[in-house]
Amino acid sequence: MARSVLGPEIERLIQLLAKLPGLGPRSARRAALALIKKKDQLLVPLAGAMSLAAERVKVCSVCGNIDTVDPCAICSDPERDARTLIVVEDVSDLWALERAGAMKARYHVLGGTLSPLDGVGPDDLTIDALVRRCASGEVSEVILAVNATVDGQATAHVITDRLTATPVKVSRLAHGVPVGGELDYLDEGTLAAALRARTPF
């Protein structure tokens, strides 16, 4: 009874908004109402931006970044040091490191961390692709910028083992990263300092 007055279009909008990280049922209702009230300034432009993103955004076949071109702008940027790969768990970590702006290198997005309890094994991540990139001779250093969590560090160990057969030097972020912390929540100065002071792994 309670919701039936909303009409199916508004109900569906609220239900979908509630699936966004950071929005619960109550904030989804507020967001829906704000969208409807600002139809021309917000609802219509956001619907358009979403359609455009859905149409154009793709995953980079080289590094796993998301962009509207493949290879992504980072992979095809000649100004960047192609011999250094920064390995991250997720695109959000890549964005965080880019905001820090400390190093003009390239990236490799793992797509997560190894997590036996959640059923995430090596084949669910892009570790094989990373090993291939490193074995090609085009890469001389890999910087492991994974989260300082148990799963992140276990993943770093597995990757380091796999990379011993390649000519690359493996380092990791300096211990400026708080233990148990996630990269995406760190301030940019801490990220930049941790990159500069990276230690051999």
Binding site for a copy of itself (CB under 8 A): 1-7, 9-10, 12-13, 16-17, 19-23, 26-27, 29-36, 38-39, 42-47, 49-54, 56-57, 65-69, 72-74, 90-92, 95, 98-99, 101, 184-185
Q: Among 134, 144, 110, 142, which Cα is nearest to 124's? A: 110
CB of 147 to Zn ion, least distance (A): 21
Report the amino acid identity of residue 89: E
Bridge partner list, 106: 85
CB of 197 to a copy of itself, least distance (A): 21
The answer to whether 150 touches 143, Cβ cutoff 8 Å, is no
Residue 63 binds what, of Zn ion, a copy of itself, none (CB under 5 to 8 Å, by partner type)? Zn ion
CB of 19 to Zn ion, least distance (A): 27
- The CA-based angle 127-129-131, given to 5 degrees, is 70
Residue 60 binds what, of a copy of itself, Zn ion, none (CB under 5 to 8 Å, by partner type)? Zn ion
* Near Zn ion in 67-96, by CB under 5 A: 71-72, 75
Residue 25 binds what, of Zn ion, a copy of itself, none (CB under 5 to 8 Å, by partner type)? none
CB atoms within 10 A of CB 140: 14
The answer to whether 123 touches 140, Cβ cutoff 8 Å, is no
Residue 196 binds what, of a copy of itself, Zn ion, none (CB under 5 to 8 Å, by partner type)? none
Task: Give the dihedral sign, CA 29/30/33/38.
Answer: negative
For the record, the structure tokens of 187 come out as 């301030």
The smaller minimum CB distance to Zn ion, of residues 90 and 151, is found at 90
For the record, the structure tokens of 142 come out as 């890999």
Residues found near Zn ion in the complex (CB under 5 A): 60, 62-63, 65, 71-72, 75
